[in-house]
Amino acid sequence: MKNGYELFVRPPLFSLDAETAHHLTIELLQKASHFDPALRVLRSFQPSSKPKTLFGLNFPNPIGLAAGLDKNGVALPAWAALGFGFIEIGTVTAKAQPGNPKPRIFRLPEQQALINRLGFNNDGADAIAQRLAALRVSARWPDVPVGINIGKSRATPLEQATDDYLYSFRMLRDFADYITLNISSPNTPGLRELQEPEKLSELLHAIGNEAGTAPKPLVVKISPDLSNTELKAVLEVCSENGVSGIIATNTTLDHSSIAPQLDQAGGLSGAPLRDKSTALVHEIAARSTIPVIASGGIFDAESAAEKFQAGAQLIQLYTGFVYRGPQLLREIMDSL
Ligand SMILES: Cc1cc2nc3c(=O)[nH]c(=O)nc-3n(C[C@H](O)[C@H](O)[C@H](O)COP(=O)(O)O)c2cc1C
């Protein structure tokens, strides 16, 4: 049976082009974030709580907002009101950038999937730090953990990637409960090479040296397209550098399940990614003690349970939330 969002909200949103629908939704949630009566309405969707402590943070429930939905951190109070147990904003880059030419988000409703090649369109670390500073002095800072996901600016050569990450890290760390290093988005040329042991080691070392007096948990977000050997190397480097968590996974470049006439260049997310990311979660939990945050193809209670069974401590939603709306949180929580 379809839920209220699927019956009444999704059809008008899906009649718009995907990016227009996205902007409209974010704009509404941004407005709601400044307006208490609207936040009270959003709270009516809240799922039951099931507190969990991980890397020293208290999560009211294990369902988080995945990076990319609120890249600029404009609607934190609204996400918390909807009942997300944690919110990850970004990807933020050191420099503001427009991203790739449009169109760059594509819906595949039959496959319950999206393909995107946004390319880290975002306001940049300076503007986002200012926005978060303003939110912090208001009374509206959310009472759930906030992660900030950082990535490399497109204009920065790969050899200078560390400096680019360091800039965003320094600008944003004070606002974050944890920082995610995104080294796995497929839409910034060369970015995924940062998963190579030497490059990852350099990056983790540099960020680790910056930790300061109040170090923040560092989380690494990886690609589902890593081979077993590559994954093993990533895990080793992460362990050596005291990484607090791994997000498995980002979108995939494996489009083998998509018919050629529907295909588009970019990262594939949603149902076709489900098994591949679950397999990675399983592999990481089997090989390492680093906690895993699962992301990829979570659409219902069953696909969420599968991630926990594979060893995930927390989960994150993106495409499932676009297709199933806020009631998905309650559906998952009621089943846990
Ligand atoms: C339109 C779109 C934009 C995204 N942007 C980002 C991003 O900026 N940074 C990031 O780390 N992941 C990004 N992702 C990946 C999601 O956070 C998530 O890891 C991935 O889509 C798999 O989860 P899902 O199947 O629930 O969508 C994006 C995904 C989509 C569909």
Q: CA 232 to CA 166: how far, in whole Å? A: 25
Residue-level pLDDT at 272: 98
Which atom of ligand 1 is found nearest the CA of 298? 26
**Residue 241: strand, helix, or coil:** coil
CB 288 within 8 Å of CB 280:
no
CB 325 within 8 Å of CB 69:
no
**Residue 326: strand, helix, or coil:** coil
C-alpha torsion 156→197→217→225, nearest 10: 80
C-alpha torsion 62→68→74→79, nearest 10: -20
Residues with CB under 6 A from ligand 1: 66-68, 71, 90-91, 105, 114, 116, 118, 120, 149, 182, 185, 221, 250-251, 269-270, 273, 295-298, 317-320
CB 63 within 8 Å of CB 332:
yes
Residue-level pLDDT at 80: 98
The catalytic residues are 185
Q: CA 98 to CA 65: how far, in whole Å? A: 23
Residue-level pLDDT at 45: 87
Specify the residue with its C-alpha closest to ligand 1, atom 21.
269
Which atom of ligand 1 is found nearest the CA of 321? 26
Q: Kindly give the distance from the C-alpha atom of residue 66 to the centroid of ligand 1, in angstroms, as a whole number.
A: 6
Q: H-type helices in the chain, by residue range?
A: 4, 10-14, 18-32, 36-43, 76-82, 125-137, 161-172, 197-209, 228-240, 274-287, 301-310, 319-324, 327-335
Which atom of ligand 1 is found nearest the CA of 120? 8
Residue-level pLDDT at 213: 64
Q: Kindly give the distance from the C-alpha atom of residue 68 to the centroid of ligand 1, in angstroms, as a whole number.
A: 5
C-alpha torsion 128→267→151→104, nearest 10: -40
> pTM for this one?
0.98
Specify the residue with its C-alpha closest to ligand 1, atom 5.
68
Specify the residue with its C-alpha closest to ligand 1, atom 4.
68
DSSP string, 153-173: -TTS-GGGHHHHHHHHHHHHG
Specify the residue with its C-alpha closest to ligand 1, atom 1.
116
Specify the residue with its C-alpha closest to ligand 1, atom 29.
68
Phi, psi of 50 (to 5 degrees): -150, 85
Which atom of ligand 1 is found nearest the CA of 149? 11
Q: How large is the angle between the packed helices 274-287 and 228-240, nearest 10 degrees? A: 50
Q: Kindly give the distance from the C-alpha atom of residue 213 to the centroid of ligand 1, in angstroms, as a whole number.
A: 31
Q: Kindly give the distance from the C-alpha atom of residue 264 to the centroid of ligand 1, in angstroms, as a whole number.
A: 16
> What is the side-by-side strand order in the sheet with 105-108?
105-108, 113-116, 267-270
Block residue for tokens 């969002």: 5
User: What string of pLDDT tens digits covers the 336 residues of the chain?
Assistant: 999 999 999 999 999 999 999 999 999 999 999 999 999 999 998 999 999 999 999 999 999 999 999 999 999 999 999 999 999 999 999 999 999 999 999 999 999 999 999 999 999 999 999 999 999 999 899 999 999 999 999 999 999 999 999 999 999 999 999 999 999 999 999 999 999 999 999 999 999 998 776 789 999 999 999 999 999 999 999 999 999 999 999 999 999 999 999 999 999 999 999 999 999 999 999 999 999 999 999 999 999 999 999 999 999 999 999 999 999 999 999 999
Q: CA 330 to CA 336: how far, in whole Å? A: 10
Residue-level pLDDT at 229: 96
Which atom of ligand 1 is found nearest the CA of 66? 17
Q: Kindly give the distance from the C-alpha atom of residue 6 to the centroid of ligand 1, in angstroms, as a whole number.
A: 21
Q: Kindly give the distance from the C-alpha atom of residue 249 to the centroid of ligand 1, in angstroms, as a whole number.
A: 9
Specify the residue with its C-alpha closest to ligand 1, atom 7.
68
CB 324 within 8 Å of CB 2:
no
